[in-house]
Amino acid sequence: MILLTGATGATGRRVLERLLGRGYDVRCLVRNPARLGTRRVDVQLALWNLTDNRLPGGVLRGVDTVIHLAGPLHDQPTANLEELNVTASWRLADAAARAGVGHFVTVSALGAGHAVSARFLRAKADAERVVIGAGASGSMPVSIVRPSLVLARGQRWAAWAHALSILPIAPVPTRPIGLSRPVAVSDVADAIVEICARDAPAVDAPARFQLAGPETFTARELLPALQTVVARRRRTVALPMSWLNVAAAALERPGAANRDELALLACDMSGNRGTHDLEALGIAPRTMMEALSA
């Protein structure tokens, strides 16, 4: 039995499809089962919000592997992103370790660390730390999956590019800050399922996987590249990041640009292993064009 969080997200939906396709029994830990669509009848359901202090009774019974995908990029009305990423990860990993789960797979982000400007990446670094700590205290193997910017048609980054194509001129940062190697959501889903299918790592040696695509972009290059694929290519105007942050703050609301997300683009999310880890898992990394044309 596999316990899956984040099953209603862009990556989670694809992970779920692959798990069911391989014949796994899946229990989804979700806030709103209706968002699973027709797949809700193919899985076991357990209701849980990332802010809940306790897991539902018996949710880890019979579970061999946990895949923890849930973790938003920014604050939610009910809690800040640190609680949603760090505290929730600790609660789940600690409970899994005490229940004797054989493998805990948690999805972090390339560039996660404490010396970065993006709150999300700092929170993911803390989430990695608490999950590894819970695994060590309970003799539970842990795998850390670190994707770069994840691309899917209609997903956050592609939606931004499409929305900005309405403007006659699209804003980009003045300096070529930030680096990313955007990775196709289908490649990330394939990698996660393959990691689960392989032997778990040693308890005292957590496995780490960098999931990066074959192309590298600065933040200044990323928007025009995205627009080439999903929208109309527009002329760009270079603006200081401080101005872009002011604009994001003015637009900040659910579904719109967000300063926490904008901060990600100023960070290094390229990793240092290129496409090696995807290829080692038997996956041929897709380009941005391939990722967004699927």
Q: Give the model's pLDDT for residue 255.
A: 44
Q: Kindly report which listed range (46-60, 82-96, 174-188) carries the lowest average pLDDT score.
A: 174-188
Residue 108 above 80 pLDDT? yes
Q: Give the model's pLDDT for residue 175.
A: 66
Whether residue 73 is found in the same domain as residue 122: yes
**Helix residue spans in the chain (DSSP H):** 10-21, 81-82, 88-98, 119-137, 156-164, 185-197, 219-230, 241-251, 259-265, 276-280, 288-293
Task: Report how many domains make up the chain.
Answer: 2
Q: Which of the four pLDDT bands, split at 50, 70 and 90, describes residue 140? A: very high
Whether residue 51 is found in the same domain as residue 76: yes
Whether residue 77 is found in the same domain as residue 160: no
Q: Give the model's pLDDT for residue 6.
A: 95
Asked which of 211, 230, 261 is the last residue of a domain, the reply is 211
The answer as to whether 280 is a domain residue is no
- Strand-pairing partners, residue 38, are none
Give the global pTM. 0.90
The answer as to whether 176 is a domain residue is yes
Rounded mean pLDDT, 204-233:
86
**Residues of the domain holding 96:** 2-148+184-211
> 212: burial class by Cβ within 10 Å (0-12, 13-18, 19+)?
buried
Q: Give the model's pLDDT for residue 178.
A: 85
The answer as to whether 247 is a domain residue is yes
The answer as to whether 28 is a domain residue is yes
Rounded mean pLDDT, 133-141:
95
Whether residue 171 is found in the same domain as residue 137: no
Q: Indicate which CATH number applies to the domain containing 64.
A: 3.40.50.720
Per-chain mean pLDDT for the chain: 88
Which of 7-21, 142-156, 248-262 has the highest mean predicted lDDT (pLDDT)?
7-21
How many CA within 13 A on the CB side of residue 183? Answer: 32
